[in-house]
Amino acid sequence: MHYTIAVLCLLVSFHCCFSVPASPRDYKLFADLPKCSTEEDQLSDCVKHIFNTLTPRLKDGNEELKIPPYEPLVLNRTSFQYSSGNVNGRITMRNAKLSGFSTNVAKEVNVKLKDGKVKLRMVTFMPKLNIAGHYKADLQVNQLQLKPKGEFNVTLTNVEATTITDGEVYEKDGHRFFRMKNIDSNPKIGDLHIKANGIFQDPELDQIALNVANQYWRDIYGIMLPETRQYWQPLLLRMFNEALELVPIDGFLKD
Ligand SMILES: *[C@@H]1O[C@H](CO)[C@@H](O)[C@H](O)[C@H]1NC(C)=O
Ligand SMILES: *[C@@H]1O[C@H](CO)[C@@H](O)[C@H](O)[C@H]1NC(C)=O
């Protein structure tokens, strides 16, 4: 089930993992968006509006801005080391396709901006997120060595994430950008359903294991989420910052 955690890093991200394009860039794609006043009460609503406008708009990417499509979002390879109690090992997922991020909506946004420092708290909601791909693991469970390998397909419904971040505004190439320094995200899931094969040699045993996992997913998730935070939180921070490097914020801020 470790692979379900890998997606958590993406629950609040609306695009990711892009290389920085060569300038000059053309930002007319954003021309209809409001310019936000930096007055605190107006800034939060304005950022929420921009998030909720850009999230569906950029789902197919944008060639000029070198933003690749993110619906689905493809993760070539993500690997976690896990060690807790009687379970030790590594799990790797390959070619995972994540679908649903374009429906991620900001419900509450609170932004504080002072002296170039930014504090942001955001609650987002995604009705459905599907992750499907290949997995491979090497696990030691008590005295038992397990090397499962196969396909998986996980569906998460009603995903609500509360994310708190702080960061700073900086200048580059005559533009202002925002960079995050810390991020703390708490995703809550309404329901989770796992399909997989290759856990055991025997498909009937697979089905039994999956039935147990699907029945007890809340307990498993409750243990896995904090245990794996050290992996996905830095990944989340890096992905956000890579996305933020693509779009200067002066287009969205009144002077
Ligand atoms: C993912 O894999 C494909 C095909 O192997 C490759 O073309 C692409 O550059 C890879 N993407 C990343 C981000 O590594
Ligand atoms: C994964 O499961 C969902 C829901 O059952 C389904 O819509 C989707 O097509 C499946 N994806 C793959 C790659 O099997």
pLDDT tens per residue across span 61-76: 888 877 888 899 888 8
Residue 204 sits at the vertex; the CA angle it makes with 199 and 208, to the nearest 5 degrees, is: 75
The protein residue with its alpha carbon nearest to ligand 2, atom 2, reads: 153
Q: How far apart are CA 222 and CA 47, in angstroms?
A: 31
Ligand 1 geometric centre to CA of 100 (Å): 21
Q: Can you tell me the distance from the alpha carbon of 205 to that of 146, in angstroms, rounded to the nearest whole number?
A: 14
* 181 compared with 251, residue with greater pLDDT: 181
Residue 155 CA from chain centroid, whole number: 15
CA 76 – ligand 1 centroid, Å: 6
Residue type for 153, please? N
Confidence of residue 27 (pLDDT cuts 50, 70, 90): low
What are the residue boundaries of the structural domains of the chain, listed by start? 2-252
* Closest C-alpha residue for ligand 2 atom 4: 155
What is the topology classification, in CATH, of domain 2-252?
Answer: Bactericidal permeability-increasing protein; domain 1 (3.15.10)
Name, in order, each residue with C-beta under 8 angstroms of 68's C-beta and a sequence gap of 6 or more: 15, 18, 61
Asked if residues 191 and 156 have their Cβ atoms less than 8 Å apart, the reply is yes
Confirm if 169 and 176 have CB atoms less than 8 A apart: yes
pLDDT (tens digit, 9 = 90+) per residue, 98-117?
999 999 999 999 999 888 89
Closest atom, ligand 2, to C-alpha of 132:
13
> Cα separations (Å) of 73 from 7, 94, 133, 156, 221?
10, 13, 12, 15, 22
The gap from C-alpha 89 to its chain's centroid, in whole angstroms, comes to: 23
Q: What is the mean pLDDT of the chain?
A: 84
For the stretch 31-34, contacts whose Cβ atoms lie closer than 8 Å and that sit 24 or more positions apart, written own/partner, are: 33/251, 33/252, 34/252
